[in-house]
Structure 1
Amino acid sequence: MTFLLVCLCGGLGAVARFVLNTSIQRWWNRLFPLSTFVINVIATFCAGVAAAAFAHQVVAESTYLLFVTGFLGGFSTFSTAINEMVSLGRNRHFVTFAVYLLLTIVVPVLCVAAGWMVGSLGD
């Protein structure tokens, strides 16, 4: 049953990613891949909140598993970010490549930390 619920939550995460990605791309027509970046920032912040909630026993392990492995696993898209970086490099957009690489590594780490702090506020 857990397997099916993780699959369902992953599907919901993928649909949410598709909707948000499409919405951002409708008005953002610049070189920087903003939609993937925003999606991964949201996902890492939520993962931090979820990790803190689980660590402080606010949510059950099954809820954590469904949300993080299922929903956020389907929502976040690190592989797309890497593919976009490679594409930027191949097309010789080296400054955008470097900025995107740096932001894609640093900002999500900060988001997880911020999410953890928010998720720990009740303690």
Structure 2
Amino acid sequence: MPAWIVVCVFLSGGLGAVVRFVLNTSIQRWWNRIFPLSTFLINCIAAFFAGIAAAAYFYETVSYSTYLLFVTGFCGGFSTFSTAINEMVGLLRGRHVLAAVAYFLVTMFIPILCVMLGWVVGSLNR
């Protein structure tokens, strides 16, 4: 793999992380409830865009390096599964068991639906 692709994935991952930080901070300013909405929304958005990119790569609309740049780089930096798991543990430690279970369920299943929806959207031009 050429070094320029590695550098581009590195840079796009950093860009994704910055966008996540800004969006996360913006959502948390107005959402002050126990459910970690910002991480959940960010992961759903990333899954949706990953689905679009996967369809685009599958139908040869984009190259493999573009797919890597966007999915591995940007979406990888933008999404944050580890934060979601940490928030679940925090809910459990705070004895918010129902909220933790609900967050677990939606965090595991809704992003899968988002990927599938993204695939459908990415396949519309076929």
- CA–CA distance in structure 2, aligned partners of residues 72 and 113 of structure 1: 16
Q: Paired residue for 1:31, among 30, 34, 38?
A: 34
The residue number in structure 2 matching 1:8 is 11
Check if 1:107 corresponds to 2:110.
Answer: yes
User: Structure 2: which amino acid aligns with 1:115?
Assistant: G
Deviation >2 Å, runs of 4+: none
Check if 1:47 corresponds to 2:15.
Answer: no
TM-score by length of 2: 0.96
SS in 1 for 2:34: coil
Describe the superposition over 1:93-120 as per-residue Cα deviations: whole angstroms up to 9, x where unpaired. Answer: 0110011000001100000000000000
Percent identical pairs in the alignment equals 66
- CA–CA distance in structure 1, aligned partners of residues 57 and 6 of structure 2: 20
| Unmatched tracts of structure 1, length 5 or more | none
TM superposition shift of 1:3:
1.0
TM-score by length of 1: 0.99
- Between the two proteins, the alignment pairs up a number of residues equal to 123
User: Structure 1: which amino acid aligns with 2:55?
Assistant: A
User: Structure 1: which amino acid aligns with 2:105?
Assistant: L
Aligned Cα root-mean-square deviation (Å): 0.5
Check if 1:69 corresponds to 2:72.
Answer: yes
1:66-105 residue pairs with structure 2 within 5 A?
66-105=69-108
SS in 1 for 2:55: helix
Describe the superposition over 1:6-44 as per-residue Cα deviations: whole angstroms up to 9, x where unpaired. Answer: 110000000000000000000000000000000000000
| Unmatched tracts of structure 2, length 5 or more | none
SS in 2 for 1:48: helix
User: Structure 1: which amino acid aligns with 2:13?
Assistant: G
